[in-house]
Amino acid sequence: MSPESEGIDDTQDILYRLVDKESGKVLLAAEDLRDYFMEEDPEPPETLTVTFVRAHQVGRARRKTEWAELQVVDRQGRTIGAYHLGRVIAAFRHELVPSGADRPDLDYSFGHTCEYPRAGEIWRKWATGRPVERGEWARYPSDWHESWLHVVQTAWFDSGRDATRYETDGTAVIDSTGISTRAGFYCALGEAVNGPGGYFGSNRDAVFDCLRTMRRDGAAPFRLVWWNFAASREVLGSDFTASVLALFEECGVETELSAG
């Protein structure tokens, strides 16, 4: 059990922790979260209410903290993702439901929510184990791809990794099967370079940063094989694929475009 989850029972049921960053103390832990992962609202309300579902360690929860962090944890209680919240304020404690549940739901006022609506469901999947098979992201509907990419990026940097290539083969292979969105392309690219659940940019500028980090660290450029490139060009647009190929060429990445 990690130090952060010390004193919390039923760790395997917990998915989220609310932490006071100034003291390092866990204010509460919960089995789920409601109304945090949502579509972006062009006119968000002044006060955003997020519900911690089946909250643990309620007795230590403060009414307010100025520097809060929301941590996503795996089944061993290890942090796999984090969101910096700033000020949060306790708003409401729900009555225990009559079905016999022994944990209350707690409402907190947040300054913002996360604009990736499927991220909570994907985090629950990742809490039982990071992806180990290629193409897992592609099994989800296309409107999940941005949320999957967000989880990949958040988990990557929260694990202490840099934006670079990690001891993978010198040839990265992208298979156009399953790529139907630009977010899906970046999921496929991260996987091709750094394995399942791997990250290598979430937009063109971020890919450039990854390639620049490789050069700074002295890593050799990889070779990229793009299977069934024509299908990707049709789905993603010729301007997008041409821009990506130009970036690879600029950064010394040899590319092979296969008909599949």
For residue range 62-91, list pLDDT tens digits in order: 778 999 999 999 999 999 999 999 999 988
By the 8 A CB rule, do 104 and 59 touch? no
Tell me the sheet residues that pair with 64: 89
Q: Helices 182-194 & 204-217, crossing angle to 10 degrees?
A: 20
Question: Between these two residues, 179 and 3, which has the higher pLDDT value?
Answer: 179
Separation of CA 220 from chain center: 27
Rounded Cα–Cα distance for residues 177 and 260 (Å): 10
Residue 5 banded pLDDT, cuts 50, 70, 90: very low
Closest by Cα among 68, 71, 82, 91 to 8: 71
**Per-residue confidence (pLDDT) for residue 258, from 0 to 100:** 86
Q: Is the pLDDT of residue 243 over 60?
A: yes
H or E, element range at 167 = none
Rounded Cα–Cα distance for residues 54 and 60 (Å): 15
**Per-residue confidence (pLDDT) for residue 4, from 0 to 100:** 45
Q: What is the mean pLDDT of residues 108-131?
A: 95
Residue 100 banded pLDDT, cuts 50, 70, 90: very low
Q: Is the pLDDT of residue 157 over 50?
A: yes
Question: Between these two residues, 47 and 32, which has the higher pLDDT value?
Answer: 32
**Per-residue confidence (pLDDT) for residue 216, from 0 to 100:** 79
Provide φ and ψ at 198, rounded to 5°.
-80, 155
Q: What is the mean pLDDT of residues 16-23?
A: 93
**Per-residue confidence (pLDDT) for residue 64, from 0 to 100:** 84
- How do residues 185-231 score in pLDDT, each as one tens digit? 999 999 999 999 999 999 999 999 999 988 877 677 789 999 999 99
- The pTM for the full model equals 0.90
Q: What is the mean pLDDT of residues 115-119?
A: 97
β-pairing, 16-20 with 64-73?
Answer: antiparallel
Across the chain, which distance is largest between two alpha carbons, in Å? Answer: 63
Most confident of 12-16, 56-60, 100-104, 205-209: 205-209
* Domain definitions of the chain by residue range: 3-121, 143-257
Angle at the Cα of 115 from the Cα atoms of 137 and 190, rounded to 5 degrees: 30
Closest by Cα among 120, 121, 107 to 63: 107
Question: Between these two residues, 110 and 43, which has the higher pLDDT value?
Answer: 110
Helices (H), 132-181: 145-158
Would you identify the CATH topology of the domain 143-257?
A: Barnase; Chain D (3.30.370)
Q: Among 1-5, 6-10, 53-57, 140-144, whose mean pLDDT is lowest?
A: 1-5
**Mean pLDDT estimate for the chain:** 88
Rounded Cα–Cα distance for residues 222 and 164 (Å): 11
